[in-house]
Amino acid sequence: MKLRRVVITGMGAITPIGNSVAEYWNGLINGMSGAGPITRFDASKFKTQFACEVKNFSADNYFDRKEVRKYDVYSHYGIAAAVEAVNNAAFDMSKLDHDRVGVIMASGIGGLDTLITEVAGFLKGDGTPRFNPFFIPKMISDITAGHISIRFGFRGPNFATVSACASSANALVDAFNYIRIGYADAFVAGGSEAALNPAGVGGFNAMHALSTRNSDPATASRPFDKDRDGFVIGEGSGVLVFEELEHALNRGAKIYCEVAGGGLSGDAFHMTQPHPEGVGAILSMRAALKDAGLQPEEIDHINTHGTSTSLGDLAELKAIVKVFGEYAYNIGINSTKSMTGHLLGATGAIETIATALAVINDTIPPTINHFTDDPEIDNRLNLTFNKAQHRTVNAALTNTFGFGGHNASIILKKFKE
């Protein structure tokens, strides 16, 4: 079976360092930190009192007042990013076959804010069940995909993927494969997350997963630094339009880059820790390279999962050296989580956008907040510390890993007819 080629024709982003793709990219290349004190709730008694919040976002810009109340915050972000992505793709809706456009929108957690609010309200009452009629549809992880489908009338395959922090990367790989085998001509795909609330922060604190550098939030996300002490939780959404090449060419679409390959794997090791030798990461990267028909030495850039955790950072870099050998030292490697924090189920999508922009602009955003070399990390690796690097990026790989041992790797390359 001859597989169809897939390209990116639209992107949208709501992130802690910008509420559009242009703002997001500007923040990335300038090394902007999105971290600051938590404003959503009183975090003074929490071990971690800071996060990478989305700033200056108004749901009223996208929904009427009745709609705002019907959606959880995670859906606000996801729909807003989808609006930018679809507008960016510039479809002629009057000529588009809506039956051939699908939506896959991921979330690792879904409407946690809604769940907390509704349960807390019940517990404060006299035991009489009084729940918002929108409680369940606001909370469930698939509803953002449904709302995007309804908003634009897209009737192709429609669902959500849930694989913890790999969720939106899985969504993108699924969209890529569905288009390649002819199930649809285009997909709106990505993920959204909004877990900046007492349960989200408290739960990750209980796992000792979050940084507790409360005195200096802006430098708390320190991937690959000796003194890293956990990830910084973030929120937001990333959405991409994946489209079959001929479909895009026939309508005169602007093509940003090509989706070359995707790889998925499982660690089969531990529910929260990565395999110490990066076994699952090795498998997903090798699968993506094979799928793309590329050799390791054809990859110019890797956007790592790079969460700023002691175990995760080491395992991923070991995996990279294992897959790429001596060539690993020629690759521009970075972690954009140093700036955005960790968007959980949305992280794969915003980092795929960052990777696409690196390919388009021949610029690799920095890994900020590097102060002290870690003696356990191979210092021959180019980890793009503290300053963006301008270099030719013909092909790039991005990794996303999740609790449960879920691994996803995606390869993008410059588009050539």
Q: Give the chain's largest Cα–Cα span.
A: 66
Is-catalytic flag, 165? Answer: yes
Pick from 41, 59, 62, 348: which is nearest to 195 by CA? Answer: 41
Strands 158-159 and 101-106: parallel
> Count of CB atoms within 10 A of residue 364's CB?
31
Q: For residues 417 and 415, what is the distance between their CA atoms, to the nearest angstrom?
A: 7
Catalytic position from the list 165, 257, 275, 301: 165
| Cα separations in angstroms, 11 against 74, 177, 220, 243, 247 | 18, 19, 28, 12, 17
Task: Give 370's contacts (C-beta < 8 A, 6+ positions apart).
Answer: 222, 224, 225, 383, 385, 386
Is-catalytic flag, 342? Answer: yes
Catalytic position from the list 76, 147, 275, 342: 342
CB 81 within 8 A of CB 13: yes
Pick from 219, 217, 201: which is nearest to 112 by CA? Answer: 201
| Amino acid code (one letter) for 347 | T
Catalytic position from the list 247, 305, 370, 406: 305
CB 276 within 8 A of CB 316: no
DSSP string computed for 155-199 = -S-EE---BTBTHHHHHHHHHHHHHHTTS-SEEEEEEEE---SHH
301: enclosing H helix or E strand: strand 301-303
Residues designated as active site = 165, 305, 342
